[in-house]
Amino acid sequence: MEVTRVLLNAQAVDGTVRKQAEDSLKQFQDQNLPSFLLCLSGELANNDKPVDSRKLAGLILKNALDAKEQLRKFELVQRWLSLDPAVKAQIKGCLLQTLSSPVPDARSTASQVIAKVAGIELPHNQWPELIGSLLSNIHHHPAHFKQATLETLGYICEEVSSDVVDQDQVNTILTAVVQGMNSSEGDNDVRLAATRALCNALGFAQVNFTSDMERDYIMRVVCEATLSPDMRIRQAAFECLVSISSMYYEKLSSYIHDIFNIASKAVREDEEPVALQAIEFWSSICDEEIDILEEYGGDFSGDSEVPCFYFVKKALPALVPMLLETLLKQEDDQDQDEGAWNISMAGGTCLGLVARTVTDDIVPLVLPFIEENIAKPDWRQREAATYAFGSILEGPAPDKLMPIVNVALNFMLNALTKDPNNHVKDSTAWTLGRIFEFLHGSTIESPIITNANCQQILTVLLQSMKDVPNVAEKACGALYFLAQGYEDTVSSSLLSPFFQDIVQALLTVTRREDAGESRLRTAAYETLNEVVRCSADETVPTVLQLVPVIMMELNNTVEAQKLSSEEKARQNELQGLLCGCLQVIIQKLGASEPTKHLFMQYADQVMGLFLRVFACRHATVHEETMLAIGALAYTTGSDFAKYMQEFYPYLEMGLQNFEEYQVCAITVGVVGDLCRALEEKILPYCDGIMTQLLKDLSSNQLHRSVKPPIFSCFGDIALAIGENFEKYLIYAMPMLQGAAEVSTHTSGADDEMTEYTNMLRNGILEAYSGIFQGFKNSPKTQLLMPYAPHILQFLDSIYLKKDMDDVVTKTAIGLLGDLADALGGNAGPLISQAVASKNFLKECLSSDDHLIKESADWAQLAVSRAVAG
């Protein structure tokens, strides 16, 4: 086989040629993996080959080493590790050799593949010479080789966790990188690669950052790089500062003054990409201090791990004016442009973060700016003043803001009706929304919305909903928060007298010709949803009247025939919004018995419509419809059985949707709803559902986040059908066991991985719990006995790892109880041997979390019964 030809054909425009090439590549891979990989690495390394075949060779290599999906990734890692060392050495040799290639794309591809191999091998103490061989003679290499080496180091730092590289190597990497960044480096590409590499390598520099001398050196070089004549380098250098601000916040004291000066200059004078990073530095500092101060607040002892240095507070007198300046640099049409992100937007956002950080102190610094500019003839000044006002509404204590808001409210309502400029109106409506979001609601002592002004506010907002789309959208947003303020009211709310008008106005907005702009239609439906969700009991009749109205709208979308692909997309979006709205209405009405009863008259029709919406598509199901069906199943309870036959094909389709994993996830959740609604009536559909769920679990394509809920779903099914789950045990139990195995390997890699591992654990534990409880009191409980040792070991291993979250703790200790409860005395000796039944249980019993304690109480009881025999 001529590999180059095949690799080029695999990128051919002609589908047949491409397919054939892909097939032969696959065949080659399946027949002889080592020689396939060798061949690809040879291709990548060969400077005589076309760049496109080399790039694809590298890409396939990369994909043979890593996958997004966790199980798949695990398999690939195992596969690589088990390859013949001689083959691997040869491949790695080719990769390193490619770094010196004169072809930039080949070098860059090789860099990424090397990082992937390093990601697998370094944690296993393999390829120890990698870093050394990359760094040897770096100074004698030509610039392009140096650049590729630095880029590779950057990728490696991104790929591997910092604890697998020993400090000596970290030191040599950092030395090389920082030297590459130095102003003495003549080649800008090298300097850029070094600066970007540093950004990734910062996580490795923990120890170096504790040494004053080393830290000073790194900081000096980074700060110098922000002054480089090359804009890309300045941008990358500021990006380093952003990373440093979040990673080494506590080490910044001695540099913050200089950084402030550099950043201020960049914000005022530099090109936008650099200025944006400079603002981001301060936003990032705000993020850090908000987190630290939040921790202070939660813990009265006041000892947070990281002390707050109050950088923002100290910089306030100079920082705020700088940010206020940026507010005046609006772009003309930024409110119409969805993708816009410019300096005034970044500055305004940063101002909002500053307000959350320093709270009350921001008010006197911004107030003069607002007063001075709010009535100026130049719209930029009025808009900047309004935006500044809106920005500082979150953070300061309500009593600091109330006096200003009470004065400003009328001004704002007036501006929203009368200001000639759309930007001003946009920001005014947004600011009103912020007022309602933060200063209105059951927790605020003196309400700003009163009997006296409620009507005026609503009149203005409903009027603004007829304004241009971007203004109308913000008016909807303001109404959203206005309604949300009443979410705790039960029987009556100030909005009730206007409820009908509000609903009518929102429906009118959804039907506007231009409702597709500025996501106005979406905003209107979202607001309608919130208005319904937060409505008081007295307006239930209106909510009920809304059911046929929304059904009619949904029906119209279903009727439409012969749509163009663009119309089809619009139909799809509209159906989503309408199903979302029905979901909220069903939940609202389903929440209490009398209103549920009222809703039930529509249940058949609503379900009929949902089925027709499903039928509009061929291969996929609508996520929103699925969500709404979950709500419907919960509301109708076992009555839902009558829809099952017709609904089942779509349920299956949803479970098969690997590509849109959210759809799959929602559908899995709906299976849970159905189990609880139908109980044993779901039995006839379980063969199909279980088959699908098992396929999902075995799939490498399905997004990993869906797998934990699938396990939980096993538990739901077992709980619903009890001992009938027997026939699925031989499939489900090994899956659970395998996943438990994987979870012991994945935990602790990093925060994200630990979070996923905990989700996975929770799913596995919930599955076991459901199975045990489902089998309980059946003679078939004995079938579960063989699984008990492994499950107890799993509980022990989770406990010993000490990295579980509260949810897992609760589920795990509950499972101990379920196992003991179901197996009883037979499992007594096993249980008494498990660590989980002693120390873990003891810890949970004294937990502050009442859910954990509740589960632990259960476990203690069940365990004591089982152990006593």
Question: Scanning residues 811 to 850, which ones bind another protein (CB under 8 A)?
Answer: 814, 817-818, 821
Q: What is the C-alpha separation between 552 and 761, in angstroms, rounded?
A: 44
**CB-nearer residue toward another protein: 208 or 667:** 667
Choose, by CB under 8 A, the member of 147, 773, 781, 837 that binds another protein: 773
Q: Is the dihedral of CA 254, 260, 265, 266 positive or negative?
A: positive
Site string for another protein, 624-663 (x = CB under 8 A): x--x--xx--x---------------------------x-
Q: How many residues bind another protein (CB under 8 A)?
A: 71
**CB-nearer residue toward another protein: 270 or 624:** 624
* CA-to-CA dists, residue 407 to 269, 371, 410, angstroms: 37, 12, 7
Under the binding rule (CB under 8 A), the answer on residue 550 touching another protein is: no
Of 14-22, 344-352, 453-461, 737-745: span binding another protein (CB under 8 A): 344-352
Of 128-136, 137-145, 768-776, 835-843: span binding another protein (CB under 8 A): 768-776
**CB-nearer residue toward another protein: 467 or 818:** 818
Residues 484-543 that bind another protein (CB under 8 A): 522, 525-526, 529-530
**CB-nearer residue toward another protein: 696 or 818:** 818
- In the Cβ-directed half-sphere of 477, how many Cα atoms lie within 13 Å? 20
* CA-to-CA dists, residue 777 to 121, 472, 773, 788, angstroms: 50, 60, 9, 17
The number of helices, as runs of H, and strands, as runs of E, in the chain is 41, 0
Choose, by CB under 8 A, the member of 154, 180, 396, 763 that binds another protein: 154
8-state DSSP, 39: H
**CB-nearer residue toward another protein: 3 or 675:** 675
Which residue reads 């409506």 in tokens? 429
Under the binding rule (CB under 8 A), the answer on residue 155 touching another protein is: yes
Of 17-25, 366-374, 405-413, 770-778: span binding another protein (CB under 8 A): 770-778
Q: What is the C-alpha separation between 808 and 661, in angstroms, rounded?
A: 23
Residues 6+ apart with CB under 8 A from 237: 181, 195, 222, 223, 225, 226, 228
Choose, by CB under 8 A, the member of 326, 583, 625, 837 that binds another protein: 583
Residues 236-275 that bind another protein (CB under 8 A): 236, 239, 273
**CB-nearer residue toward another protein: 741 or 857:** 857
Q: Give how far the C-alpha of residue 329 lies from the chain's centroid of Cα atoms, to the nearest Å.
A: 31
How many angstroms separate the first and last alpha carbons of the chain?
Answer: 69
Under the binding rule (CB under 8 A), the answer on residue 159 touching another protein is: no
* CA-to-CA dists, residue 170 to 127, 140, 237, angstroms: 15, 21, 20
Choose, by CB under 8 A, the member of 176, 719, 764, 767 that binds another protein: 719
Q: What is the C-alpha separation between 629 and 599, in angstroms, rounded?
A: 14
Site string for another protein, 364-403 (x = CB under 8 A): ----------------------------------------
CB of 301 to another protein, least distance (A): 26
**CB-nearer residue toward another protein: 172 or 712:** 712
Of 137-145, 491-499, 648-656, 766-774: span binding another protein (CB under 8 A): 766-774
Residues 727-746 that bind another protein (CB under 8 A): none
**CB-nearer residue toward another protein: 744 or 826:** 826
Q: What is the C-alpha separation between 708 and 501, in angstroms, rounded?
A: 44
**CB-nearer residue toward another protein: 10 or 242:** 242
* Token output for 794: 């799993």
Choose, by CB under 8 A, the member of 98, 208, 386, 587 that binds another protein: 587
Under the binding rule (CB under 8 A), the answer on residue 580 touching another protein is: yes
Under the binding rule (CB under 8 A), the answer on residue 666 touching another protein is: yes
* CA-to-CA dists, residue 833 to 697, 820, 839, 846, angstroms: 32, 13, 11, 21
CB of 478 to another protein, least distance (A): 11
**CB-nearer residue toward another protein: 304 or 662:** 662
Residues 424-483 that bind another protein (CB under 8 A): 426-427, 430, 474, 477
Interaxial angle between packed helices 726-746 and 683-698, expressed in degrees from 0 to 180 and rounded to the nearest 10: 30
Alpha helices by DSSP H, listed for 122-230, are 130-135, 143-159, 167-181, 188-201, 206-210, 212-225
Residues 697-716 that bind another protein (CB under 8 A): 712, 715-716
Residue pair 150/141 in contact (Cβ under 8 Å)? The answer is no
Which residue reads 């019964």 in tokens? 865
**CB-nearer residue toward another protein: 396 or 580:** 580
Q: What is the C-alpha separation between 429 and 101, in angstroms, rounded?
A: 57
**CB-nearer residue toward another protein: 39 or 627:** 627
Residues 6+ apart with CB under 8 A from 594: none
**CB-nearer residue toward another protein: 442 or 450:** 442
Q: What is the C-alpha separation between 293 and 288, in angstroms, rounded?
A: 9
CB of 79 to another protein, least distance (A): 27
CB of 303 to another protein, least distance (A): 30
Choose, by CB under 8 A, the member of 313, 642, 676, 801 that binds another protein: 676
* Token output for 502: 């509000």
Q: Is the dihedral of CA 33, 38, 44, 50 positive or negative?
A: negative
Return the closest-CA partner of residue 763 out of 862, 700, 697.
697
Under the binding rule (CB under 8 A), the answer on residue 180 touching another protein is: no
Q: What is the C-alpha separation between 857 and 844, in angstroms, rounded?
A: 9
Residue 179, phi-psi category: left (phi > 0), alpha (psi -120 to 50), beta (remainder): alpha
8-state DSSP, 64: T
Choose, by CB under 8 A, the member of 119, 485, 672, 763 that binds another protein: 672
Under the binding rule (CB under 8 A), the answer on residue 804 touching another protein is: no
Residues 59-78 that bind another protein (CB under 8 A): none
Residues 90-149 that bind another protein (CB under 8 A): none
**CB-nearer residue toward another protein: 288 or 530:** 530
Under the binding rule (CB under 8 A), the answer on residue 688 touching another protein is: no
Under the binding rule (CB under 8 A), the answer on residue 349 touching another protein is: yes
**CB-nearer residue toward another protein: 47 or 864:** 864
CB of 587 to another protein, least distance (A): 8
**CB-nearer residue toward another protein: 233 or 358:** 233
Neighbours of 680 (CB within 10 A): 13
Site string for another protein, 211-240 (x = CB under 8 A): ------------------------xx--x-
Return the closest-CA partner of residue 161 out of 205, 204, 197.
204
Residues 6+ apart with CB under 8 A from 148: 99, 100, 101, 107, 108, 110, 111, 193
Site string for another protein, 849-868 (x = CB under 8 A): --x--x--xx--xx-xx--x
Q: Give how far the C-alpha of residue 334 lies from the chain's centroid of Cα atoms, to the nearest Å.
A: 26
CB of 575 to another protein, least distance (A): 13
CB of 31 to another protein, least distance (A): 36
Return the closest-CA partner of residue 711 out of 770, 756, 648, 751.
770
**CB-nearer residue toward another protein: 138 or 345:** 345
**CB-nearer residue toward another protein: 91 or 193:** 193
* Token output for 129: 């010479």
